[in-house]
């Protein structure tokens, strides 16, 4: 009945900055754009980004506000995770683009893991599976 995760939605206040980060830094490609009018919150700008068959839907409303910062764990969405081939090489490449890990890296028996943040402060896990 269910096939796969179709997309992940991410609300941003600065869509051009977010698109630049996800395309230039992480290698996503723009799949499509759209503008939806007549929503209860005003016009909605959408940019669909794709990486390895997964789609990230960047959403932007004119009056959207950042969520209050919290360091507490909470139920619900935590972060998206990107699989990398080689953790040290991925982190080295990110550093050349001005992106440092916000956590890790940590290497365990079955995987290596680190986290970075996008320009809006959203956590992105980097995961290398040890096969």
Per-residue pLDDT tens over the stretch 24-74: 999 999 999 999 998 888 889 999 999 999 999 999 987 777 777 666 776
What percentage of residues in the chain have a pLDDT greater than 70? 95
Average pLDDT, the chain: 91
Closest alpha carbon to 43 in 55, 33, 30: 33
- Establish whether the linkage from the previous residue to 51 is cis, with ω within 30° of 0: no
Domains of the chain: 7-60 (3.10.180.10), 80-129 (3.10.180.10)
Question: Tokens 């992940």 identify what position?
Answer: 8
Show Cβ contacts of residue 74 under 8 Å, excluding neighbours closer than 6 positions.
Answer: none
pTM for this prediction: 0.87
């Amino acid at each position: 009945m269910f096939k796969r995760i179709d997309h992940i939605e991410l609300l941003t206040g600065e869509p051009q900055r977010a698109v630049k980060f996800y395309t230039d830094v992480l290698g996503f490609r723009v799949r499509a754009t759209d503008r939806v009018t007549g929503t209860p919150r005003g016009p909605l700008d959408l940019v669909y980004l794709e990486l390895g068959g997964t789609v990230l839907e960047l959403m932007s409303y004119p009056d959207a506000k950042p969520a209050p910062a919290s360091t507490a764990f909470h139920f619900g969405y935590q972060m998206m995770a990107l699989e990398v081939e080689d953790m040290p090489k991925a982190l080295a490449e990110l550093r050349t683009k001005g992106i440092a890990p916000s956590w890790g890296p940590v290497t365990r028996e079955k995987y290596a893991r680190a986290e970075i943040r996008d320009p809006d402060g959203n956590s992105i896990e980097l995961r290398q599976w040890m096969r």
